[in-house]
Every structure is written in C-alpha cells, then in structure tokens.
Structure 1
C-alpha cells in the first residue's frame, strides 16, 4: 500500500511537500521472523531520550522501549530520530515503532496511528511558594518566563494574553534566568521546573496551575493493526502494574496522572 505524507502548515514533520512510503508487509510478521523490534527514540530530548555520561542511550522513552522489547521477547534495535523525521522514518519502514515523546495530534493522526497513551507532557505555571497563583488570571500583568515559540509560549499567551511574557531563545537560557532570579514565574513543563529546582534548592518553584496536559503515545504505521493491538495491550498492562509510571517518575520527577493508571 502506498502512503503519502502531505504538507501541513506549522508542523515541522510536514515540512516537505510529500513523502511516499513503499509497500510494506505486516510489521508484526516481520518482527516475529527477525526476532527483532526496531523502535525509534529521540536522544536529543531529555528526560525522554538522551545519552548518559558514558554516551549510552537513556531516558524514560529509552527505558520504556527496553521494557516493551523484553516483555514481547524480541531483541531491541534502537533507531535514533529527531522530532522532524519521526513520521518519515515510520512511513518509509526504517523503524517499526516510534517512542519519542510523540504527542497525539489530529494532524499526525491523518498519516499514522497511535497506541494508547503511555505518558504526558504538561504545560504548567510554576513559581516559588511565596507567590500566590491560583489560576491564569493571577499572572495578568506579571512577568512570566517561557521559551520563545514553544507550545508552552503559545498556549499561555493564548489563554492569558495580558501576561507579560519574557521569552528566551532556548530552554538552557530560560533555566539560567530562573536560577539567577531574573524572573520568578515559569511557563514550561515539570521537567524544566525540576532542572531549575536542582540548582535553586533554597527557593524552589512549585506547580501553581496545570494549563494543559498533552498525552503522548507510540507511533505506528496505518494498517499495522495486529502490531497496534499487541502494543495497546502492553501499554494497558504496564500502566496498571505501575511499571510505566515508575519509569516516568524516575526521569520526570513527577508521576503520571492518576486517571491514566486505572
């Protein structure tokens, strides 16, 4: 079956005009035959994927991929991807699955399928305990630090247009600004907050408002229904038994939402 990836404005993964995928046999049959499962991870996206001090892959997605391969009884072949090429690698058969903090979106669902969600990326407002923020109305007129052009920036700017957004070009600069006290209110993720608090123990930030929760899941080619069924059952089992929550908590510093674990 030929598949084509169409350009969708505003999404890096649709940057090319089109991408045709070759005819592919059922992935589950191929995996069984080779006894190897190829799972794509992004090693430039800590804490989900990164290299440790010994330059070995680590992170919550890496450990989750290892658990998936071990539970299914296959050898794991980690395939390194970046955010823009996650979909192309999947469509062209360079990987069987993608586990790379792959947020579910309507645009992506037009060209690939997703498993049941196994994690979340939250957009939060964080500030020191001394700062009272009960909802987004409380940041109106206040200086709020974020990363320029990020989903955090876009979501908070949309919901609280009266906030005084202080935008930094990357997460590293944002973190430095919060550590040095240039700004005391953060619009980012719990992972960024944890990185700040590790270097700001005397006056740590705490989550004040959860602005939005974006679930992420395992990317699967359309038509790979047998593989999807196996992966969905694996996700459900390991959410119920707590293994995926333990991995997520280990790397993210916070647990998964309670409703995901039921």
Structure 2
C-alpha cells in the first residue's frame, strides 16, 4: 500500500514523538532542558531582579531592623551580587527563610541563590549545588554564666536547645543520642527558650553564638569549638551550572578585591571587635 506524502510526514512525527516520550520527554522538553539551565542568568537579567534567600532573625548575618530593612553580612554580599549582575544593589528581592526550609526554597525555585548562613554538608550537596565558600565556622555551645556548660559530657540526659535543620541538630542527633534535644524553627524562639531556662544550653554556629553572647552578658560561649570545621557557602538549584559558575566568579572577585572583608568590617567587626580576627571566619 502506498502512503501519500502528508500521511508519511504525520506518521514520522508521531513515531518521533512516541520515541522521545519513551525516553522520558517530548521533543520540546528535550530541547528546553539544556536551554533552561543555560539561560538562568539571562532570565534574571531580563527580569531585572535576583531573589536571594536570607535570614530575618539571625544578626549579624541576616536580620530585619527596626525600620523593616534587611541588614547583615549575608545581606551585604547579596547587594554586591545584585550590583554586579543587574547594575544596582537595590535590584535584589530578599526572601526570608528559616533553617529548616532552606533546601526546599532552592529546590522549589522560590529563590535564585541562597545566602542564609548555609553550612556546606555532604547531605545537603545531594540536594543543592554549593558555590565556593565565603565563611568557615564550627559549632559552639552557649550557656548561663552562673551554670556554664564547659564539656559536652555535662549535657548527658540534659536538654539542649537547637534549631531544626541546622548542623547542630544533625551533629548532636548523630553523635550524642544521650542528649535531649528541644528543637525550634526560628532563632528567636530558640534563644528565648534559653533565657527562659527551658534548656541548660544552646548549640549553634560559634560565630553566631559569640555575637549573641556579647549582647546577652549573662551567658557565655564556654564551648567555642566542637565538631568538624565547616564552610558556609552560597547555594543554587541542583544542576544549574550557569548560575553556579556566575556565583563562583562573584565570590572569587569579592575575595580578591577586598569587598568580602569590607562586608565583614561593616557588619561583623562591630560585633566581634578584637575577640575574633577576620581570617578566623572569612574563607580564603
């Protein structure tokens, strides 16, 4: 049986579509996937705004001041990114996040880049792509000055306060099951619980604890360094190589030209003073 040319063309198209579908997608999807990844930076430029996830309650890294403005170390880095990519530090949309939902905000596309004091871990690296780090930290433990916790052994069968989804949560869950953990979503809740005596101590990044203890002199960071040294880095959606490359180049530039140190001097040095040196926290 002879087929006319129009039917042949139709049959060929159907066969091709079925073949692509069997491989997991349509012809349009196959064409769009690499383009979507390659056009991320261009899409941000066309939109004229970059959405960056930061904390709203974690001074001095990310917080909202009395006038409703975003402030902090991560915020300064975000403004530099917006200025370099879009020509103005004002072209950043700050998306407030909490520790427990940071990965979801990246995976769902709610943010383009995450800068919410995000510690780089192997588990998180399976879900997101990390850029080069800009800070280095370890865990610490803060407790009342009149009842200081100076050794992890003192926490046995005691209640330790942590934030859900943080490295402190993961570290104590894995390594110290003898410690009772009371977990909160927001930093303000966790620190208020410490003030209220709902736990004997609180564990978080040491950089944050030093800053908090300075503002709350009835407490001290009697354990300043536990667990492995870790890095804090920006993160983007898994597989978004174009945006990852751009963020990497931006962090490298900020380190080289001194803008990262300038951000430190503006936001962190007034908090730490001489107690902490920039090189102790800034990644090389």
TM-score with structure 1 setting the length: 0.66
Indicate if the aligned counterparts of 1:249 and 1:255 stay in contact, CA closer than 8 A: no
Counterpart in the other structure of 1:60: 73
State the shift of 1:52 in Å: 1.6
Name the structure with the higher strand share: 1
Distance 1:81 1:132, change over 3 A: closer
Name the structure with the higher helix share: 2
**SS of corresponding position for 1:104:** coil
Q: State how 1:169-180 maps to structure 2 within 5 Å.
A: 169=184, 171-172=187-188, 174-179=190-195
State the shift of 1:80 in Å: 1.7
**SS of corresponding position for 1:54:** coil
Counterpart in the other structure of 1:258: 280
Give, in whole Å, the separation in 2 of the partners of 1:157 and 1:108: 16
Which structure is larger by alpha-carbon Rg, 1 or 2?
2
State the shift of 1:66 in Å: 0.4
Counterpart in the other structure of 1:218: 234
Give, in whole Å, the separation in 2 of the partners of 1:79 and 1:142: 40
Give, in whole Å, the separation in 2 of the partners of 1:204 and 1:52: 23
- Runs (5+) with no aligned partner, structure 2: 1-32
Distance 1:223 1:154, change over 3 A: closer
Give, in whole Å, the separation in 2 of the partners of 1:40 and 1:218: 10
Give, in whole Å, the separation in 2 of the partners of 1:187 and 1:222: 29
Give, in whole Å, the separation in 1 of the partners of 2:266 and 2:83: 15
Give, in whole Å, the separation in 1 of the partners of 2:268 and 2:81: 17
Indicate if the aligned counterparts of 1:125 and 1:188 stay in contact, CA closer than 8 A: yes
TM-score with structure 2 setting the length: 0.62
Distance 1:234 1:58, change over 3 A: same
Counterpart in the other structure of 1:249: 268
State the shift of 1:204 in Å: 3.6
Give, in whole Å, the separation in 2 of the partners of 1:39 and 1:251: 28
State the shift of 1:132 in Å: 7.3
Distance 1:98 1:45, change over 3 A: same
Counterpart in the other structure of 1:195: 212
Indicate if the aligned counterparts of 1:124 and 1:211 stay in contact, CA closer than 8 A: yes
Counterpart in the other structure of 1:99: 115
State the shift of 1:29 in Å: 3.4
2:182 to 148, 167, 170: 167
Residue by residue over 1:94-140, the C-alpha shift from the partner in whole angstroms, topping out at 9 and shown as x without a partner, is 6543323333343443454221012356421234398473x53x425
- Runs (5+) with no aligned partner, structure 1: 1-20
Counterpart in the other structure of 1:235: 251
